[in-house]
């Protein structure tokens, strides 16, 4: 059973890792939207704002904008873990947003931040968010392993 759970998490993280911006939205990103998204992506301070930005600018999720979103997702998961229940609610009702969050747990995040995310997901998961915590922890672990390897998520 434990092997099945691990395999399921591994497949989910691989799928999330291969999500591209085009899967979030079919709309094209205008140059004005691109400027707005690049300015706000790294400054978002809570999941409501991240979700609103995702809804407005998901078609712009590439390059520097994507790095800004990754910075924000990593920071919130590492430092604002107490809001994971709110994130779980949003990602449960919007699968594209869940893919967006998992996609932005990526190799641009510092190893120390990824380790904090893994610790949060493993040690401080709210009962209503266990599935999301496992996906988050698995995705963070995948990024560390791709960079260097050696940790085990349990």
And the tokens for 72?
């924000």
Count of C-beta atoms within a 10 Å radius of residue 112? 9
Tell me how far apart the alpha carbons of residues 134 and 80 are, in angstroms, rounded to a whole number: 17
Instruction: Tell me the mean pLDDT per 10 residues along the chain, length 154.
Output: 48 48 65 97 97 97 97 98 96 97 97 98 94 97 83 49
Report the alpha-carbon distance of residue 1 to residue 43 in Å, rounded: 41
DSSP 8-state secondary structure symbol assigned to residue 126: -
Residue 86 neighbours by CB distance under 10 Å: 16
Say what the pTM is.
0.80
Tokens of 144: 């560390």
Count CB neighbours of 62 within 10 A: 15
Domain ranges of the chain: 45-154
Other Cβ atoms less than 10 A from the Cβ of 129: the count is: 20
CA trace torsion 90, 92, 96, 99 (10° rounding): 100
What does the pLDDT read at residue 10?
47
């Amino acid at each position: 059973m434990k092997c099945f759970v691990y395999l399921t998490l591994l497949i989910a993280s691989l799928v999330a890792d291969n999500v591209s911006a085009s899967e979030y939205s079919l709309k094209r990103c205008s140059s004005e939207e691109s400027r707005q998204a690049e300015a706000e992506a790294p400054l978002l301070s809570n999941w409501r704002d991240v979700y609103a930005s995702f809804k407005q600018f998901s078609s712009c999720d590439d390059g520097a904008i994507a790095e800004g979103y990754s910075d924000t997702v990593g920071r919130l998961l590492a430092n604002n873990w107490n809001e994971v229940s709110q994130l779980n609610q949003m990602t449960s009702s919007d699968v594209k947003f869940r893919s967006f969050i998992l996609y932005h747990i990526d190799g641009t995040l510092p190893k120390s931040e990824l380790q904090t995310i893994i610790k949060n997901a493993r040690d401080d998961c709210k009962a209503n968010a266990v599935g999301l915590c496992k996906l988050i922890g698995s995705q963070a672990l995948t990024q560390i392993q791709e960079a260097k390897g050696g940790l085990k998520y349990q």
